[in-house]
Amino acid sequence: MVKSKNDRVFDLLVYLILIFVLLLTLIPVMFVVSMSFTPYAELIRRGGFVLIPSNFTLAAYREMLKGGELLGGMWVTVRVTVIGTVLNLIATTLTAYPLSRRQMPGNKLFTKLVVFTMLFSAGTVPTYLVVKYTGLMNTFWAMIIPSLITVYNLIVMKSFFEGLPEELFEAARIDGATEFGVLLRIVLPMSLPIMMTIGMYYAVAHWNAYMVAVLYITDADLRPMQVILRRMLKTANMATDSAEDVVPAETLRMAAVCFATAPIVVVYPFIQKYFVKGTLAGAVKG
């Protein structure tokens, strides 16, 4: 099929817009990564803006990894992210499924009560007191249990379950399946997109957790990566000397961004198709 002149002009315009958007998103990423590898002397010489450094150094990364504290914090963050995300998905699924069934007594009332907590939250102080008096202070579980279910994620998952064909549930019940059996054998195998989507939401929240650790954790061995990175940046060397062994605060800041975001950037492409599909499916009904 031969395209007309107007079609070719339109295609060219679309490609130019896509290239422009690509540059808008790619240049900041290149800047952050390049700054983390740029020697201080070159940073000063080029006015603090470097996209492609002529020399590379790992001084910022060596400074962050020195002493092993950051690796310990990263191990805490990995454990919180993995265990927390699994528990989040289990709790959210076990809550969203019964709320999605119209035959459940009090369905609408419980849904309204859940939504009410999203509109009018208790606040930081009451939550802190609950964590304190339940014995979770300064424990690993203080970074997981208070955020076990997020209402927004619960509503999205509930909407997805409501969109599944009711005939499948009726056929399973006729064959003698219990509600828990229906959930395990019918609902979960069909819910991979929404599980991956909600799981990504929870995982990113756990990976970037900062305030919960600041509020509830005082033990140095339980501090997650984000808290340690923050402390490192606050105490970064602000000297202006151009000696090679000096690691400026700006370079450390960019290295911290790379260190903290790299795992999410690596994992996201593998679940992107599920992420988009699950987001759209969960937004069909509300």
Domains of the chain (ranges; CATH) run: 60-282 (1.10.3720.10)
Supply the angle between the helices 69-100 and 107-119 in degrees, to the nearest 10. Answer: 140
pLDDT of residue 274: 64
* Per-residue model confidence (pLDDT) at position 20: 92
The pLDDT, as a whole number, for residue 13 is 92
Q: What does the pLDDT read at residue 241?
A: 47
pLDDT recorded at residue 243: 47
**Mean residue pLDDT across the chain:** 81
- Within the chain, which residues score under 50 in pLDDT? 238-244, 282-286
- pTM metric for this prediction: 0.79
What is the distance between the alpha carbons of residues 46 and 9, in angstroms, rounded to a whole number?
A: 40
For 5, 9, 18, 20, 51, the CA distances from 15, given in Å and listed in that order, are 15, 10, 5, 9, 24
For residue 237, the model assigns a pLDDT of 53
- How far, in Å, are 71, 72, 163, 244, 257 from residue 68 at the CA level? 5, 6, 49, 23, 18
Q: How many residues does the chain have?
A: 286
> Between the CA of residue 139 and those of 37, 89, 134, 194, 212, what are the distances in Å?
36, 21, 11, 30, 11
pLDDT at 278: 55
Buried b (16+ CB within 10 A) or exposed e, 205-218: bbbbbeebbebbbe
